[in-house]
Chain A
Amino acid sequence: RKEVEQDPGPFNVPEGATVAFNCTYSNSASQSFFWYRQDCRKEPKLLMSVYSSGNEDGRFTAQLNRASQYISLLIRDSKLSDSATYLCVVNTDKLIFGTGTRLQVFP
């Protein structure tokens, strides 16, 4: 089993839609969690940390479920500029990156 698993997608959604990605992790001792965004042929950029109580940053909401060992990212009111690959990242003694979920927002 992979340490971090994500649905590769692509998720094709119209502008204004709400879309959610899930990510599961295998190590129950994982201590911190992040979502990164990676545009085509660019470096990953930190989107947001994921806190135990869940957290929101504008149109983005992240949730953590430690019992089921998954984290989620919800994007509301999708914009064309949200098109990218979203990487789930889990920290045990080092950061483990998922292979990403690709999102394509169309007009």
Chain B
Amino acid sequence: SQTIHQWPATLVQPVGSPLSLECTVEGTSNPNLYWYRQAAGRGLQLLFYSVGIGQISSEVPQNLSASRPQDRQFILSSKKLLLSDSGFYLCAWSVRGRGNQPQHFGDGTRLSIL
């Protein structure tokens, strides 16, 4: 069966520090991969998605970036965090090449910026 791992579970970072969140998927090949952010009391906001290695699409302008160095690895990064980057970050995967498929989420990373 497919599993998705995301770490760390919680993170407290000072403003201006760098960020790296990692997500890996097991049990499937060539998945679509996604990064979302959920601010407190708000809906899910799609940040990035990827349909293949090195292929990243950005949904909203921000100081975050994403990379996909391997088929089942997706990384979310920032060079300098802002207070507004606080939130619940979720990685998700779906079956590639088949429309109308649901997405499956990792456990999430709760990021607090001080």
Indicate if A104 sits at the interface (CB-CB under 8 A).
Answer: no
How many residues on chain A are close to B (CB under 8 Å)?
19
Query: Whose C-beta in chain A lies nearest to the C-beta of B32?
Result: A94
Q: How far is the CA of A46 from the CA of B2 in the complex (A)?
A: 14
Stretch of B11-19, B42-50, B65-73 on the interface side: B42-50
Report whether B105 and A95 are in contact in the complex, using a CB–CB cutoff of 8 Å: no
Name the one of A32, A42, A95 contacting B108, with C-beta atoms under 8 angstroms.
Answer: A42
Name the one of B49, B102, B107 contacting A94, with C-beta atoms under 8 angstroms.
Answer: B49
How many residues on chain B are close to A (CB under 8 Å)?
18
Per-residue interface assignment for chain B, residues 84 to 114, with 1 indicating a CB less than 8 Å from any chain A CB and 0 otherwise: 0000101000000001111111111010000
Per-residue interface assignment for chain A, residues 9 to 31, with 1 indicating a CB less than 8 Å from any chain B CB and 0 otherwise: 00000000000000000000001
Task: Write out the residue numbers on chain B whose beta carbons fall within 8 Å of the beta carbon of A41.
Answer: 88, 110
DSSP class of B's interface residues: helix, strand, loop or mixed? loop
Q: How far is the CA of A95 from the CA of B44 in the complex (A)?
A: 10
Name the one of A42, A46, A49 contacting B104, with C-beta atoms under 8 angstroms.
Answer: A46
Indicate if A99 sits at the interface (CB-CB under 8 A).
Answer: yes
Task: Write out the residue numbers on chain B whose beta carbons fall within 8 Å of the beta carbon of A31.
Answer: 99-100
Name the one of B46, B49, B99, B102 contacting A46, with C-beta atoms under 8 angstroms.
Answer: B102
What's the minimum C-beta distance from A35 to chain B, rounded to whole angstroms? 10
What's the minimum C-beta distance from B33 to chain A, rounded to whole angstroms? 13
What's the minimum C-beta distance from A62 to chain B, rounded to whole angstroms? 13
The residues of A with any CB-CB pair to B shorter than 8 Å are: 31-32, 34, 41-46, 49, 87, 89, 91, 94-95, 97-100
Q: Can you list the 7 inter-chain pairs with the closest CB atoms, starting with the nearest?
A: A32-B100, A99-B43, A43-B105, A97-B44, A43-B108, A46-B102, A34-B102
